[in-house]
Amino acid sequence: MPLIARGELLGVLDVQSDQASYFGDDAVGVITLLGAQMAAALSNARLYEVAERTSRHERALGSIERHIQSAADIDEILQTTVRELGKALRVPHTAIELKVDGAQQRGA
């Protein structure tokens, strides 16, 4: 029995018996209904995970933005950005590398 939700094959419900013609029409109907409910539940769980992840990312970006806006100068903006990105990404080391072309370095 395919587990299909929103047009996507999510898996297969495999129900077997060692007896021929074991499953009657009523059993097949119940299995079909169960498969549809399982597919809907799996699809809903996936959608919830995506929504939860998106919400976490948006909260992290909002927090980073608030911290950056409170910075007084470019050095503090860069330090805040590195620190907050490291926290959001849960990584031990974060860095920002700035490249300035030769014309800007000479004051042109």
Number of domains in the chain: 1
pLDDT of residue 108: 44
pLDDT of residue 71: 87
Q: What is the pLDDT of residues 65-97, one digit of tens each?
A: 888 898 889 889 989 888 888 888 889 988 888
3-state secondary structure 44-89: HHHHHHHHHHHHHHHHHHHHHHHHHHCCCCHHHHHHHHHHHHHHHH
Paired tokens of 31 = 């299995």
Is residue 107's pLDDT more than 80? Answer: no
Paired tokens of 47 = 């959608």
Q: What is the pLDDT of residues 21-45, one digit of tens each?
A: 888 999 999 999 999 999 999 999 9
Distance CA(82)–CA(69), nearest Å, equals 14
Domain of residue 15 covers 2-105
CA triplet 29, 30, 33: central angle to 5 degrees?
A: 85
